[in-house]
A = this chain, B = another copy of it.
Amino acid sequence: MESCIREYADIDQLRQCKANIEEVQTAIQKLSKALNLAGNEVRLKILYLLNTEKAMCPCDLSDVLEMTVPAISQHLRKLKDVDIIRSEKKGQTIFYSLNNDAAQVIISLLGNISTNEAVLIK
């Protein structure tokens, strides 16, 4: 693209950056995917609830979050598709819970949310 013409553009720095970015490419891609999923108010609430309540069914979540069951179900599917949550069937009820391995990043964000001064976003 070579859009920089500034003579004081540090060509070496930029080359370094490109190499650097390429190295973390897949890690960033995965992280952004996880953050994108958590970056939805409804889904973050679901994750928050699963973190505090251990396990909940779509029906309960629908109640608590005051949303239709299909809407909840579709969010759950997205989270399950990337293994952030897992499901366990008991009778005709399906209980969802956090998959602690993959949800680690998000759990750490949620952990201190109630007493969180770190969230200074406008």
- Interface, chain A (partner B; CB < 8 A): 1-4, 6, 9, 13-14, 17-18, 20-21, 23-24, 27-41, 43-45, 48-49, 52-53, 59-60, 62-69, 81-84, 93, 101-102, 104-105, 109, 113-114, 116, 118-122
A36 to B109, CA, bound (A): 13
Q: Is the CB of B109 within 8 A of A35?
A: yes
* A121 contact set on B, CB distance < 8 A: 30-31, 33-34, 82-84, 102
Q: Are B82 and A1 in contact (CB under 8 A)?
A: no
Minimal beta-carbon separation of A63 from chain B (angstroms): 5
Q: Which residues of B contact A109 (CB under 8 A)?
A: 31, 35, 105, 109
8 contacts between A and B (CB under 8 A): A2-B63, A9-B60, A13-B60, A27-B113, A28-B113, A35-B38, A83-B121, A104-B118
